[in-house]
Structure 1
Amino acid sequence: MNAQPISRFPVPDIADLPKDIAERILAVQEKSGFVPNVFLVLAHRPDEFRAFFAYHDALMDKPGNLTKAEREMIVVATSNINQCQYCVVAHGAILRIRAKDPLIADQVAINYRKADVTPRQMAMLDFAMKVSQRAYEVDEEDMDVLKAHDFTEEDAWDIAAIAAFFGMSNRLANVTSMRPNDEFYSLGR
């Protein structure tokens, strides 16, 4: 295991956290076999932890026209352009698992335009990247492209919300110097 600190900010002990946060972290640990560092780093501010994960879950765990793997593709592609090592590594692992493909996360992270994705997924990622980098340029033409690939207005909102939420997450991860857990590197390979 890596001896480097996981954050430049204080990281609380699970035993010292509010009960609801400690229970959530322990449930994740039980399911995955380790505690992803994002949970420990963000637990430094309990109210923000709750808000962050409530919105995360609302975006990433909802049923809809986007698969869970496609949602993770958005996170990996936009996190790469935002230079967020933690999110590329962690969500890359989740993408490999959800897509049942050991190569897709690396392809999407390095250059999604050359990745083995469908034309529909390419349109989704192009839109997510535009939202991530130039949201002020989004116009009806972008919506028409999505519609041509059978995305609804609600899907467009989901794509935009995921790109926007992870833009915030990427910035927090970078400012806190959040380190990816060693376990993420081999998951789904």
Structure 2
Amino acid sequence: MPHIELGNDLPGITGLMAYRPETAGPLNALAEVLLRGPSSLTRGERELIAAYVSSLNQCGFCTASHAAFAAAQLPEGMELVDQVRDDPDGAPVSAKLKALLRIAALVQADARTVTADDVAAARKEGATDVEIHDTVLIAAAFCMYNRYVDGLAATAPENPAVYEFAAQRIVEHGYLGPSR
């Protein structure tokens, strides 16, 4: 049960955003740009970074949501998402994505620990400066989103079908599309 009365029964961040639409707009706009805007990283890869950071933060709602969103946009589906969450270095993703996931994990734990060597390693694997920038911002933003959801004790459905349904909406309409 959320720590405050939201006036709705919507789960996770959707209930929080319905409670404060004034803050929902900029938060959704940021997610739209980072996760769906033009990028050399696929939408699935960017959602995978969001799911990975959310799992490191142990945010159940955001992990389940963005894992479903990533799976819906990656040919390998949830199997790959689970592999990355369990062992990003051993997962069957590109060396570039592994390097970006390492940076995302550093940002999640303590952003000050990202070094020039970490950035150079990502560049060596083919990451562009924009990809590195966006990875850092995705990781930082999801630390915020995760803390928003968990700090207000937003509810998280147990049924995976809820997240799969939401994934279809995000894939079709994005974060600025029809209301949840």
Match of 2:44 in 1: 69
**Unaligned 5+ residue runs, structure 2?**
168-180
Query: SS where residue 8 of structure 1 aligns?
Result: coil
> What is the alpha-carbon distance in structure 1 between the residues aligned to residue 90 and residue 162 of structure 2?
23
Match of 1:41 in 2: 16
The structure-2 alpha-carbon separation of the partners of 1:8 and 1:111, relative to structure 1 and needing over 3 Å to count, comes to farther
Which of the residues 128, 132, 135 maps onto 1:152?
128
How big is the shift at 1:10?
Answer: 2.2
Q: Does 1:171 align with 2:147?
A: yes
Q: Does the CA-based 8 Å contact 1:124-1:159 persist in structure 2?
A: yes
> What is the alpha-carbon distance in structure 2 between the residues aligned to residue 58 and residue 36 of structure 1?
23
How big is the shift at 1:89?
Answer: 0.5
Matches within 5 A, 1:8-157: 8-13=3-8, 37-100=12-75, 101-157=77-133
> What is the alpha-carbon distance in structure 2 between the residues aligned to residue 50 and residue 136 of structure 1?
29
The structure-2 alpha-carbon separation of the partners of 1:167 and 1:157, relative to structure 1 and needing over 3 Å to count, comes to same
Q: With structure 1 as the length reference, what TM-score do the two structures score?
A: 0.77
Return the letter of the residue paired with 1:141: D
> What is the alpha-carbon distance in structure 2 between the residues aligned to residue 77 and residue 102 of structure 1?
12
> What is the alpha-carbon distance in structure 2 between the residues aligned to residue 61 and residue 36 of structure 1?
22
Q: With structure 2 as the length reference, what TM-score do the two structures score?
A: 0.80
How big is the shift at 1:11?
Answer: 2.6
Structure 1 range deviating more: 35-44 or 59-68: 35-44
Return the letter of the residue paired with 1:152: T
How big is the shift at 1:8?
Answer: 3.2
Q: Does the CA-based 8 Å contact 1:82-1:170 persist in structure 2?
A: yes
1:17-53 deviations in whole A, cap 9, x for unaligned? xxxxxxxxxxxxxxxxxx7642222221221111211
> What is the alpha-carbon distance in structure 1 between the residues aligned to residue 122 and residue 145 of structure 2?
25
> What is the alpha-carbon distance in structure 1 between the residues aligned to residue 34 and residue 164 of structure 2?
25
Return the letter of the residue paired with 1:140: A
The structure-2 alpha-carbon separation of the partners of 1:36 and 1:94, relative to structure 1 and needing over 3 Å to count, comes to farther
Match of 1:25 in 2: none
- Give the % identical residues: 26
Q: Does the CA-based 8 Å contact 1:95-1:104 persist in structure 2?
A: no
> What is the alpha-carbon distance in structure 2 between the residues aligned to residue 152 and residue 11 of structure 1?
41
**Aligned residues between the structures:** 163
Greater Rg by CA: 1
> What is the alpha-carbon distance in structure 1 between the residues aligned to residue 17 and residue 86 of structure 2?
27
Query: SS where residue 126 of structure 1 aligns?
Result: helix
How big is the shift at 1:61?
Answer: 1.2
